Structure 1
Amino acid sequence: MARSKELVPGVGRLSRSQVFTKRGLYKGIKKSDKPAGEEPAATKEKAVGGAKNGEKRVIPTVKAPRYYPTEDVRQPKKSRKSHNPPGLRSSITPGTVLILLAGRFRGKRVVFLKQLESGLLLVTGPYKANGVPLRRVNQAYVIATSTKLELPGFTVDEKINDAYFAKTSTKGARSAEEEFFEDGKPKAKETFPATKAADQKQVDSAILDAVKKTPDLVKYLKSTWGLSKGQYPHQLMF
């Protein structure tokens, strides 16, 4: 008895691509409305100087490569994907207090400033209130609260973008011998750039002025958030 072509009525045993391959539809002649262009000639005549050279010579139109690679080098596949940053959630607006759910400062409350070109959120503690500096966070790992600061006329400097947070690359030891002798030496501590510290103070000054206008808001930003036994986030109001 032949196998049924359908698992159930309306659902085939093979997928669309499997049927396409099995029927050999890719071998069919592709019809096109465009007129077929003339193929370029493989050879051409070239005038040659000299009485004994025949005055003309037939040469190929496409010159063959002079060298051939000895090994087949795999070329990386070019991606056709384009990065489209996600849209901002309607509950997140400049001045909204967010709760971080992941990372080094998880459980901390921060103030949202703006969305960067990459789609990440630029937030700050502010640093003087709870120790959270200017950071980039993914909006998938934050909870937007109903608390919001009024920041009239406040704008973040354009230089604070994704490139602002790029780490400087440091070169390691040149050889294995140098790396062996460097193990016993204490590593030099990286100093925080003075320019970034000044930027942090400038942003925090405007945020703290707005925070002090609301009573007990500084204590609210300093406190950390967490779930107790029997609490569920989808049942809480933030």
Structure 2
Amino acid sequence: MAPTEKAKKPAVQGKKKRKHPINTCLGGGIMRYSKSQMYKRRALYRLIGKKSPKVKKEKIPIKVEKKIGGPKNGETRVVYKKKAKANYPTKKRVLKRPPRASFSRHVRNTRKSMVPGRILIMLAGRHQAKRVVLLKVLDTGLLLVTGPFGINSCPLRRVSQRFVIATQTKIDLGKFKVPAHINDKYFARKEVSRKKKNVEGSDIYAAKKEKYVPTEQRKKDQKEVDAVVLKAIKAHPEHKYLVKYLNNLFSLGSNQFPHRMRF
């Protein structure tokens, strides 16, 4: 076959395809031919009075008669073809959740203003209304902050970004990185072993809550972190006012509205 010649397609047997549709849309939901015109074009008048023969479906029996041996069984018995279930579940089956739904795999999103060195205002908790320095965003999405402890008595703590206001004030921490061991597990509480029920005759109120005492490792970490933060504060051009700013508590007057303020 020459390269210029085109291969002919084999003829398709059966109904011929229409090149143009019978009815077309002119736009805005208006069709070219109305219902009465389409009735004539399709020759539907031929079907008037024409009845198609009804096909009767054969009824499939639900029950079957079976023979049963033995003189006392009555020889035959009527049995259902499909037996009903003996037990039905009381509720739907509870499917296991996929591992993607676990809390540890959730994506943590923090505000753009949450940058190390940013001064934040605490809105809840024991250190409410204090101004603290942001050190790091942890894997769980919580913020690692410090007072520093020598200025406003706020130690290394975790806080949610929902309970802080980010101010425009920022100190330069340089290339300082928080030690790797200070993470979410570092702040995990120790599980207290539950004692057995008191024996008869013993004092019910004998067991008392243990007072929290910081470990030597925690004290050491606090001093190391605060030393870097204090050095950065002293290097700030307005360090005298910055120390007073961190030391004072945040408060609002009667004529002050937080949604109208710039922090």
- SS at structure 2 position matched to 1:99: strand
Q: Deviations over 1:118-171 (max 9, x none)?
A: 011111111111011111111111110010001112110010000000011111
- SS at structure 2 position matched to 1:215: helix
Query: Take 2:137 and 2:201, find their aligned partners in 1: how far apart are those partners?
Result: 42
Query: Which residue of the partner structure matches residue 122 of structure 1?
Result: 144
Counterpart of 1:166 (choices 176, 188, 204) is 188
What is the Cα deviation at residue 172 of structure 1?
A: 3.1
1:104 is aligned to 2:126: yes
Query: Take 1:85 and 1:177, find their aligned partners in 2: how far apart are those partners?
Result: 49
1:223 is aligned to 2:254: no
What is the Cα deviation at residue 185 of structure 1?
A: 6.4
CA contact (8 A) 2:138 2:144 kept: yes
- Percentage identity across paired residues of the two chains: 42
Question: CA 1:107–1:180 in structure 2 vs 1: closer, same or farther (change >3 Å)?
Answer: farther
What is the Cα deviation at residue 215 of structure 1?
A: 2.4
CA contact (8 A) 2:198 2:204 kept: no
1:135 is aligned to 2:157: yes
What is the Cα deviation at residue 79 of structure 1?
A: 3.2
1:224 partner amino acid: L
1:150 is aligned to 2:172: yes
Query: Take 1:137 and 1:131, find their aligned partners in 2: how far apart are those partners?
Result: 16
- SS at structure 1 position matched to 2:199: helix
CA contact (8 A) 1:85 1:117 kept: no
1:234 partner amino acid: H
Q: CA RMSD in A?
A: 2.5
Query: Which residue of the partner structure matches residue 262 of structure 2?
Result: 237
Question: CA 1:100–1:78 in structure 2 vs 1: closer, same or farther (change >3 Å)?
Answer: farther
Q: Deviations over 1:210-230 (max 9, x none)?
A: 112322211110111122112
Query: Take 2:96 and 2:216, find their aligned partners in 1: how far apart are those partners?
Result: 41
Unmatched runs of 5 consecutive residues or more in structure 1: 1-71
Question: CA 1:188–1:233 in structure 2 vs 1: closer, same or farther (change >3 Å)?
Answer: closer
Unmatched runs of 5 consecutive residues or more in structure 2: 1-89
Q: Deviations over 1:28-49 (max 9, x none)?
A: xxxxxxxxxxxxxxxxxxxxxx
Give the alignment's TM-score, normalised by structure 1: 0.63
- SS at structure 2 position matched to 1:177: coil
- Spell out the pairing of 1:55-66 with structure 2 (5 A cutoff): none
Query: Take 1:101 and 1:152, find their aligned partners in 2: how far apart are those partners?
Result: 27
1:216 partner amino acid: Y
- SS at structure 2 position matched to 1:202: helix
Higher Rg of the two aligned structures: 2
What is the Cα deviation at residue 182 of structure 1?
A: 5.7
1:79 is aligned to 2:97: yes
CA contact (8 A) 2:156 2:222 kept: yes
Query: Take 2:201 and 2:114, find their aligned partners in 1: how far apart are those partners?
Result: 48
CA contact (8 A) 1:173 1:179 kept: no
